[in-house]
Structure 1
């Protein structure tokens, strides 16, 4: 709320007038005393003009994307929202983002200033695509460090600020539907058997007793399940209301709930090659996908009086993802006779995630110069991969028969895993204004997170020879069933042994357990040298303790690590005039690897196998920024930023020197660097009464480099608790993994208002991401590189004074090919190539 008090002016004017009247007319014997008048109004935090105004005034570098702007662009989730900020790109196939060329492990995610966990053990940060923009005020990108920000970041901290209700009471309903052109054009659409439409059906791993006593006890079928009318749908509600509590208290309530689903289909190649370019896999196939997201949020803001405020946020997000993949072609060691044999690979993958985020925060004005802030959080994650199915068989064209290869029991398997995380976080800090020019901030951050991961893969070992059984690749249950198991045609084994003969050992799951304790203290001094020049200097001390116990197919053991980091930060702001700012920032931060990058556990995809490295350790980052900002008028900004990062012991994904096409994670060299220039331009191109044409564009150029040191990697990974990782890079240095040389976002909007509250918005959005390295290669087997991509979206929205709104949107209108290549010395080899398809959608809303 912003207030403008005119009491003093009013009283001064009144007194002057009364005094003048008294000197002219002594009949006035008394004067009425007016205590004061206050004009009060609401400022919408999410509005673009307010966000730019805060950016202009703040001493820290602030870059935010507000919910109002996102609504106009038809942006429904935070992962796309972040890409609208300068220097950010979304990783294809996930909700993870790269910022200033630095990926998942280099960034951090907070909600209302507190860290929140990832919903997927593969990543450090939460999949931002599951966070709905309707439940936020804005997304902040803190690309420049200050000591209040948690120190584990080098790209940026993404802060999701949940919506606090202000204004008039309302209730809003949103309905939407869309189709993916690829999915709707399929005459038949298939998914795996088991999961349901809403995604709340949980498939549990068979109990150990059932497996021992009854053998084959899997309840779900191997056969594909036909799905009719793959049409996406969405339903959302949100509401807000304020209640008076006592004489001074005010309670504001905001609630949000939604369900949406999404069907997808793509077809293309999956290929992997060795270091001389010979194919290890060469497959063409299809992928059917289906995802759900059920979200609920409640935000209670209780203002006791002008000095004390409490806020409670509770957010529950349940997501599921199904993928059914069917490929045909060549797999080395499966069908050596390519002339008459075709390898058939089927994989059905199901993911479920339940994430609870709970926060209780307070703001207190203790005395005139002292303000106290505290925020406590508890997060719980339940993430599962229940009943992943994989089958590999061979079709012989000459004999028109199907049979299994005899090599690897793991070719046909069912897989179950579960990750449970309990995450306790807290922050307490105080601002003390020594005088109008000096402010001191000091505080404490704490975090304790415990992670428990368990996985079991049931491999099906074929015991009978080819020709002695019937196999239908349309339903592998024709072979894998209770009757054939009892007859001894196949056995069920894990990497620890045979369930039938050694259940006590065989049924012990692979696991890793982790405990992380982070204690940090920080202080920051803000000094105002003049009305135009302000400096902040701060210091943060972080201490991290981590313990990991693990027992996997690779290794078992315990790793304990302790790190202490001293992190200084400097922020300078000079206002050249009322519309121009110059800023300079310098800081030190660090980057910790994520748990799955440390745990020695094999994580398998169709075309890739990755495993962690217990010898991995944090990188240190030294950062500097120089920024110029110009604010031509309200709601407009033009800025240019030059930045640089020096990284000691950078972490990178690498292709391991082996025949299995495996990747792992190492501190690849002694140093790396990132240099770049960013430009942002938000400007009205035309404005006349209620008509406005505007643009919002940004671009980033990056130059990155890192050392590639084989000897360093071998020396650091040869330990008692890790296996030696061998890499053989063909050069001594290369670009940073994941960094694109050039990023750009261009948005063109048309806004037309008429009547009292009628509005039409048309927005066209274009994004470009240039080539970037997915994984560092070795020897003649070059880097895996994701090729450049161009994305075009458009949305039209109209809202009437009676509360009814309509929208039409088109996403991925160019429908580009997503390509990944292996840059071999004897020529590039395409290893992935597919199109996602265009999405066309309509929506209707009603607010009352």
Structure 2
């Protein structure tokens, strides 16, 4: 394994030498750099609206940014919502994952200060953006147009989160807030599972092998729900900034942030719907409820050392601890457990499922920028990320309720119906980049660079299944007190239940305790070159190429493949890109860009492991492979004033061997991930307007609008799938839309900014978003596509800042409170698979800065 880390080690050594050289060199000469583009000096606020637009106007690359000032006015608290304020972006309901230009998680990438970071959830490629607080950032950059400095594994966009580097006067700010979700606060009896605590700091541990062998049922947490009083959200945070002079030219700047917040949610409605055209209903829980409680504890320190005007070092460390509890009670029909009464005239399937998830992410970065001489600048960036993600003590219990006799009995002797589940994902991620910019005269700049990444992943999962021994219907149980049956006394007595894993009974099979597992090692090496040439004052061109080599080795032993196995992937990609900018005048730009990129399947889309949820089960596919993307963008920009922007973009993508989430042959909505055809394509139009409607004196009335139209299509070829995969599919058609692509997206924001006295300000913003229908998963064997239906959201924020340092805010969230609806679009019509309302909410906060 050491030889695989050699290139990363070389990168560390190179940058260490550069740093030593920078400390010795004391070059204070300042020269004009015409080809460098935008240079931010002094105390310019990077996140201000005027600076965001200025950078976009002057940049040679096509960039789109959402600044901290705009986000603060809109009351946006996390990055996932912030990204949706950009054109062509949408947030997947129920997660922090983002779709950009109709392309989802596997098609996008996420960086912090230019370096890749791992996902906090093995189900996804990108970090859940909802756990990153906007108070920590200067701006969010959306790089929808590829350039060779970026990793080539993107077809939607790269989301770059730029943390704050403090440049102003010293300050300390504290913020205290509270909010309610009306669904949760109006629920008379609010329940969560036993075990986790309020702050999310308590870790639930899996029982030891010896304890279970010797004493059997030794689980310390109860299966009985715990009632929660006053489900009211709270938030407490602080941030500070200061700086010090070091010597005649040096300056040390420090920014820090720390905070805790929590939220209570409650959903009631329909879930789990799965229907066959011929056989009718497979399952549906048409009387369902979910209680959800989340916490987020975050700390960030960012230290910037400006050695002199030519040398700068930045160190940042970010720790994020998140937890999520979800307790669901689901009633309805499931033919896997009781298939005699699909209309539920007498018998109802009852499911209790409690899930606790914890994530600990540590992201450390060290970056240096050095102007060695007038034509040469070197930039290096190193990172180490550590992820510890767990699902400790997921609980599931299933019974059948007899409405006529008014009692419940266990669904069947199927051991998996009642279980406790534990998993853990550990990842170590080393990443780095070093590049040099060299000027040839006033019109040419050459960039030469290297990027490296090594990531190891270790996933283990154990599910203890409780095989019920009494004949079905002969033992009755209180569904509000499963502990009366599943307890140590009953286990020791025998005749009630056994404990088994997928490998066998724990009493008779020593290997029963061996967990399901998969491990992964990924090594990326890349070199790139980019040439920027200024033909005239109006025309500038960038042309570059990147070579990416990706090696991945996965070793696994899971319930799907108990004999285990290995997957080896080795890809080499040559990725050309060009970018042309024509400045018609100081206010109008025309841009044309083209590139080749690729899309890799996620780790859990490849690893043959099945993860079961109430709505669906998903399983990895060893045979899925990389898709290639060919991208073209044409954009017009108009900058009427310093705070204003009007733009229109036409873009297209051609995709070879597109990957899609697809329903496979099963009785439920089991999905997997397959190269579904030879090709796919995307055509789209984006429009954006940032305009002052009225600006006079101390009053400003402004709007921020954007909209995206998408037209997508991919070929579906079941013969190709059969040749390349061991999974069975039978598509309902030969062509369909891309998974996750909404045909139309829109954001509309109206704001009023009022100033009075000596720097007192008031901002009131109304934000509206619309997302049209999109395909969640492709259908199969007569079962139609799973489609997420269109919905709208409306938010409002009122913020007041006073010159004495006090601040106040009021907010309203999801005020329209629409239904979120997922349907199975069968030939007989739309059948509801999931339907619920998230609930509207209101909140208030107060802050003091001194």
Q: Taking structure 2 as the reference length, what is the TM-score of the superposition? A: 0.94
Q: 1:762, 1:348 → 2: CA distance?
A: 40
Q: 1:744, 1:467 → 2: CA distance?
A: 54
**Per the alignment, do residues 465 and 407 of structure 1 end up closer, same or farther by CA in structure 2, a change over 3 Å counting?**
closer
Tell me whether 1:572 sits opposite 2:580 in the alignment: yes
Tell me whether 1:429 sits opposite 2:435 in the alignment: yes
State whether residues 413 and 468 of structure 2, in contact with CA within 8 Å, keep that contact through their aligned partners in structure 1.
no
- Measure how far apart 1:307 and its partner are: 1.3
Identify the residue that residue 318 of structure 1 maps to in structure 2: 321
Identify the residue that residue 290 of structure 1 maps to in structure 2: 293
How far does the alpha carbon of each residue in 1:181-233 deviate from its partner, in whole angstroms, 9 at most, with x for none? 00000111100000000001000110111111110100000000000000000
SS of residue matched to 1:738 = coil
Count matched residues: 806
Tell me whether 1:693 sits opposite 2:695 in the alignment: no
- Measure how far apart 1:745 and its partner are: 0.3
How far does the alpha carbon of each residue in 1:57-76 deviate from its partner, in whole angstroms, 9 at most, with x for none? 00000100001100000000
SS of residue matched to 1:549 = strand
Identify the residue that residue 708 of structure 1 maps to in structure 2: 716
Q: 2:425, 2:46 → 1: CA distance?
A: 36
How far does the alpha carbon of each residue in 1:761-803 deviate from its partner, in whole angstroms, 9 at most, with x for none? 0000000000000000013211000000100000000000001
Identify the residue that residue 3 of structure 2 maps to in structure 1: none
Tell me whether 1:450 sits opposite 2:456 in the alignment: yes
Tell me whether 1:499 sits opposite 2:514 in the alignment: no
State whether residues 409 and 474 of structure 2, in contact with CA within 8 Å, keep that contact through their aligned partners in structure 1.
no
How far does the alpha carbon of each residue in 1:309-341 deviate from its partner, in whole angstroms, 9 at most, with x for none? 100010000000000000112111323233321
- Measure how far apart 1:398 and its partner are: 2.3
Identify the residue that residue 369 of structure 1 maps to in structure 2: 375
Tell me whether 1:681 sits opposite 2:684 in the alignment: no
Identify the residue that residue 173 of structure 1 maps to in structure 2: 174
How far does the alpha carbon of each residue in 1:556-612 deviate from its partner, in whole angstroms, 9 at most, with x for none? 200111000000000000000110000000000000011000000001101201100
SS of residue matched to 2:477 = coil
**Per the alignment, do residues 477 and 636 of structure 1 end up closer, same or farther by CA in structure 2, a change over 3 Å counting?**
same
**Per the alignment, do residues 622 and 157 of structure 1 end up closer, same or farther by CA in structure 2, a change over 3 Å counting?**
same
- Measure how far apart 1:40 and its partner are: 8.3
Q: 1:320, 1:443 → 2: CA distance?
A: 39
SS of residue matched to 1:49 = helix
Identify the residue that residue 34 of structure 2 maps to in structure 1: none
Q: 2:577, 2:67 → 1: CA distance?
A: 27
Tell me whether 1:393 sits opposite 2:396 in the alignment: no
Identify the residue that residue 839 of structure 1 maps to in structure 2: 841
Identify the residue that residue 656 of structure 2 maps to in structure 1: 648
- Measure how far apart 1:627 and its partner are: 0.2
Tell me whether 1:379 sits opposite 2:382 in the alignment: no
**Where does 1:206-217 land on structure 2 (aligned, <5 Å)?**
206-217=207-218
State whether residues 448 and 517 of structure 1, in contact with CA within 8 Å, keep that contact through their aligned partners in structure 2.
yes
Identify the residue that residue 636 of structure 2 maps to in structure 1: 628
Identify the residue that residue 250 of structure 1 maps to in structure 2: 251
List alignment gaps of at least 5 residues for structure 2: 1-27, 32-39
Moved more, 399-408 or 429-438: 399-408
State whether residues 47 and 68 of structure 1, in contact with CA within 8 Å, keep that contact through their aligned partners in structure 2.
yes
- Measure how far apart 1:826 and its partner are: 1.0
SS of residue matched to 2:52 = helix
Q: 1:287, 1:752 → 2: CA distance?
A: 42
Identify the residue that residue 516 of structure 1 maps to in structure 2: 522
Identify the residue that residue 155 of structure 2 maps to in structure 1: 154
Q: 1:305, 1:499 → 2: CA distance?
A: 66
Q: 2:482, 2:689 → 1: CA distance?
A: 57
State whether residues 334 and 407 of structure 1, in contact with CA within 8 Å, keep that contact through their aligned partners in structure 2.
no
State whether residues 276 and 781 of structure 1, in contact with CA within 8 Å, keep that contact through their aligned partners in structure 2.
no
State whether residues 820 and 833 of structure 1, in contact with CA within 8 Å, keep that contact through their aligned partners in structure 2.
yes
Identify the residue that residue 105 of structure 2 maps to in structure 1: 104
Identify the residue that residue 65 of structure 2 maps to in structure 1: 64
- Measure how far apart 1:399 and its partner are: 2.1
State whether residues 277 and 824 of structure 1, in contact with CA within 8 Å, keep that contact through their aligned partners in structure 2.
no
Aligned-pair Cα RMSD in Å: 1.3
- Measure how far apart 1:401 and its partner are: 2.0
Q: 1:40, 1:616 → 2: CA distance?
A: 48
**Per the alignment, do residues 409 and 515 of structure 1 end up closer, same or farther by CA in structure 2, a change over 3 Å counting?**
same
Q: 1:357, 1:132 → 2: CA distance?
A: 14
State whether residues 48 and 67 of structure 2, in contact with CA within 8 Å, keep that contact through their aligned partners in structure 1.
yes
Q: 1:660, 1:185 → 2: CA distance?
A: 33
- Measure how far apart 1:274 and its partner are: 2.1
Question: Of the two, which has the highest radius of gyration?
Answer: 1
Identify the residue that residue 534 of structure 1 maps to in structure 2: 540
List alignment gaps of at least 5 residues for structure 1: 9-38, 718-723
Tell me whether 1:476 sits opposite 2:477 in the alignment: no
Q: 1:741, 1:180 → 2: CA distance?
A: 30
Q: 2:325, 2:584 → 1: CA distance?
A: 55
Q: 1:398, 1:287 → 2: CA distance?
A: 27
Q: 1:562, 1:261 → 2: CA distance?
A: 43
Moved more, 457-466 or 122-131: 457-466
- Measure how far apart 1:659 and its partner are: 2.2
Identify the residue that residue 348 of structure 2 maps to in structure 1: 342
**Per the alignment, do residues 746 and 497 of structure 1 end up closer, same or farther by CA in structure 2, a change over 3 Å counting?**
same
Identify the residue that residue 197 of structure 2 maps to in structure 1: 196
Identify the residue that residue 755 of structure 2 maps to in structure 1: 753
1:585 to 576, 590, 593: 593
Identify the residue that residue 229 of structure 1 maps to in structure 2: 230
Q: 1:691, 1:551 → 2: CA distance?
A: 65
- Measure how far apart 1:827 and its partner are: 1.2
Q: 1:837, 1:329 → 2: CA distance?
A: 23
**Per the alignment, do residues 120 and 128 of structure 1 end up closer, same or farther by CA in structure 2, a change over 3 Å counting?**
same
State whether residues 795 and 810 of structure 1, in contact with CA within 8 Å, keep that contact through their aligned partners in structure 2.
yes
Identify the residue that residue 665 of structure 1 maps to in structure 2: 673
Q: 2:772, 2:53 → 1: CA distance?
A: 28
Q: 1:394, 1:483 → 2: CA distance?
A: 24
Q: 1:247, 1:756 → 2: CA distance?
A: 35
**Where does 1:674-823 land on structure 2 (aligned, <5 Å)?**
674-717=682-725, 724-823=726-825
Identify the residue that residue 302 of structure 2 maps to in structure 1: 299
State whether residues 413 and 472 of structure 2, in contact with CA within 8 Å, keep that contact through their aligned partners in structure 1.
no
Identify the residue that residue 74 of structure 1 maps to in structure 2: 75
Q: Taking structure 1 as the reference length, what is the TM-score of the superposition? A: 0.94
How far does the alpha carbon of each residue in 1:75-106 deviate from its partner, in whole angstroms, 9 at most, with x for none? 00000000000000000000000000000000
Q: 2:787, 2:796 → 1: CA distance?
A: 29
State whether residues 753 and 762 of structure 2, in contact with CA within 8 Å, keep that contact through their aligned partners in structure 1.
yes
Identify the residue that residue 12 of structure 1 maps to in structure 2: none
- Measure how far apart 1:41 and its partner are: 4.6
State whether residues 277 and 781 of structure 1, in contact with CA within 8 Å, keep that contact through their aligned partners in structure 2.
no
